[in-house]
Homo-oligomer: A and B are copies of this chain.
Amino acid sequence: MDQTIQQLEVWCAGEDWCPVTATATLIGKKWHTVVLHRLLAEGPLGFNALQDEIGGISSKVLSDVLEDLEEKRLINREIVNEKPVRVEYSLTELGASLESVILEMAEWGQEHLTAAEKDGSIA
């Protein structure tokens, strides 16, 4: 505990950039994280499949998020020449390396938010 907090201090002390700020700038948006999570968990997915998996995201917002994630080199967009021409979204190596972060968020949510979400005390 003290060890890790020490680490956090060292990383940001007197620096003009901070790894947390940088990471938060990159993936610090609700849908970005969720999209990465689904691609991690379910593997490469098409546009509609991804939208169905996520649930509650509109095609416009998903389209925007995918474009942004591609720009940031976290996902690949590949056009597959099959019967109905599909598009397959998958994680880049950089994107896949975020697994530890996503997993930590998943564990934290599981531990701390289950009950709260269900009775609505944290909205």
Chain A interface (Cβ < 8 Å from any Cβ of B):
1, 4-5, 7-9, 11-12, 16-26, 28-34, 37-38, 40-42, 54-55, 72-73, 94, 97-114, 117, 122
Q: How many copies does the complex hold?
A: 2
18 A-B pairs besides A11-B110, A28-B29 with CB distance below 8 A are: A4-B103, A7-B103, A8-B37, A8-B40, A12-B37, A19-B107, A22-B109, A23-B105, A23-B106, A24-B33, A24-B34, A28-B33, A72-B122, A97-B111, A100-B104, A101-B101, A101-B104, A101-B105
* Residue in B21, B31, B97, B104 whose beta carbon sits within 8 Å of that of A112 in the complex: B97
Q: How far is the CA of A117 from the CA of B25 in the complex (A)?
A: 11
* Residue in B16, B19, B22, B113 whose beta carbon sits within 8 Å of that of A19 in the complex: B113
Q: How far is the CA of A35 from the CA of B94 in the complex (A)?
A: 25
